[in-house]
Structure 1
Amino acid sequence: MLLAFLDESYDKGEYWIAAVVCPSAEILGLAARLDAVVMKATGTWGTSERAELHGNDLVQGKHDWAPIARQVRARIGVYRDALRATADTRGLLVMLQGVDRQALEARYEVPWHPHRVVLERLLERLNDEAVRQGLPILVIADEVDGHDGHRKSLWEYQHIGTGGIDGRMLTNVADTIHFAPSCDSRLLQAADLVSYMHYRMRRTQVSDERAKKANEMLWSLIEPNVCSVHIWKP
């Protein structure tokens, strides 16, 4: 079985969801390696062993990472080690799906929420990958508003089909979408790190050359695992 862990990043212009797709046999190992990254930080700098690997918090030195807010290299090192642990996982893939929010609002009088739009298209791509590998895929997502609506939509996609001219039945997506708080899931945290760094590279204006180089270094670690990047412009 494959497991897909989803996290979103967005601004007024674009809405993206990243999926970290991992073979079930590799889940425990990846979670242990991410735990080890946090435990290393705990032993070195005294951060909490429950600290969440959260992209924005690591970059900004906030919340769980406030104790090392002044230690930029340390925070970059934690981000690097976590992305490396993720990227080195056997068979791990990354998919990124987005929508142009302004084009969506301009085309439709009452558009769907961009999360639903992006999720539908991402589920199609996840299903395609599962079909290609001949495996079922289970989807676990960071908690968002409208859980029940997304679950009902998935049931329709599985039994009736997705919308649009390229609509299809999601034959290999197993069960329903499972929503969980990212603070309790290292794998959702991995998705967050990927989602945030993609967003930062694509949408954030960074003037400091050292920060630019750090971002490029971090993204280069996970980029070889990226098998799909699409943005829909209605």
Structure 2
Amino acid sequence: MHLCYFDENKHSPDNPYFFIGGLLIPDSKALEFEKTLAQIAFNFFGSSSLTVHNEFHGKELFHGKGIAKGRKMEDRVQVFRDVANFVTCNQIPVRLVCINVDRHRSKYAYPMPAYRLGLMLILERYCEYLDKVDDLGLVFGDYEADEVTSAVVDFSEYKSQGKTPMYSGRPLGRLLDTVYFTHSHHSRFLQVADLLVYMAGRYENMQSAPDKWHEKEVAAAWEKIKASGNVYIQRWP
């Protein structure tokens, strides 16, 4: 069994790219991986408890806001480095979908909403990996109140119809039961998904090379993850 976690970013007029995705964890390694992430959390927060006060958020860590307000830049950057080491040393597969929302909307007369399309595509990517390793999976997402119901209904329909509705749609039979949603402060794995999506959203479509020290360091953490050979990003359209 694999546990599949995903989060997403928010596109804006200044950033038309919508990212969704995360990581897949073999259940046999879940306890070991949880201990590693708990140690990373303890090193930064002084506590490993799963509360909103001890939650990793990529945006807040990078900008020194929220839970990271007042923390030294070196300490904040170290979290990105530690997560990059966690992903690469354990050869954790990362799957992401990048949707250029402006191009998507201009290409289709009736474009599917970015979240709905992105979720469908990332479920396909998870199933591709599960086919490769001949295993089953459970899917967990960050709780978004306005998306949960439609996501669960869509997933149920894809399974009952035998495949996703794209022209090259694929079956999702390796994903069991439903899509489970929980608040990210209740799951370190969802928090890792948050950091992965944040780094991808920040650096995959960057127009110029990073110049500030912390920008270079976090970009290097992302490049290290990509260099592991376990990252696949689907771009749409």
Match of 2:25 in 1: 22
- Secondary structure of 1:97's aligned partner: strand
- Secondary structure of 2:24's aligned partner: strand
**Offset at residue 27 of structure 1 (A):** 1.4
Quick one: percent identity of the two aligned structures? 26
**Offset at residue 50 of structure 1 (A):** 4.5
Provide TM-score, normalisation by structure 1: 0.89
Instruction: Check the 8 A contact 2:52/2:185 in 1, yes or no.
Output: no
Instruction: Check the 8 A contact 2:23/2:94 in 1, yes or no.
Output: yes
Is structure 2 residue 197 aligned with structure 1 residue 170? no
Q: How far apart, CA to CA, are the structure 2 residues paired with 1:225 and 1:30?
A: 20
Aligned length: 227
**Offset at residue 227 of structure 1 (A):** 3.4
| CA-atom RMSD in angstroms | 2.1
Is structure 2 residue 236 aligned with structure 1 residue 232? yes
Instruction: Check the 8 A contact 1:151/1:177 in 2, yes or no.
Output: yes
**Offset at residue 43 of structure 1 (A):** 4.2
Taking structure 1 as reference, are residues 123 and 207 closer, same or farther at Cα in structure 2, changes over 3 Å only?
A: closer
Q: How far apart, CA to CA, are the structure 2 residues paired with 1:209 and 1:67?
A: 19
**Offset at residue 228 of structure 1 (A):** 1.5
Q: How far apart, CA to CA, are the structure 2 residues paired with 1:146 and 1:209?
A: 36
Match of 1:62 in 2: 65
**Offset at residue 128 of structure 1 (A):** 1.5
Match of 1:181 in 2: 183
Gaps of 5+ in 1: none
Q: How far apart, CA to CA, are the structure 1 residues paired with 2:52 and 2:123?
A: 33
Q: How far apart, CA to CA, are the structure 1 residues paired with 2:205 and 2:9?
A: 10
Provide TM-score, normalisation by structure 2: 0.88
Gaps of 5+ in 2: none
**Offset at residue 208 of structure 1 (A):** 2.9
Q: How far apart, CA to CA, are the structure 2 residues paired with 1:20 and 1:42?
A: 23
Q: How far apart, CA to CA, are the structure 2 residues paired with 1:173 and 1:43?
A: 36
Q: How far apart, CA to CA, are the structure 2 residues paired with 1:208 and 1:168?
A: 42
Instruction: Check the 8 A contact 2:92/2:230 in 1, yes or no.
Output: no
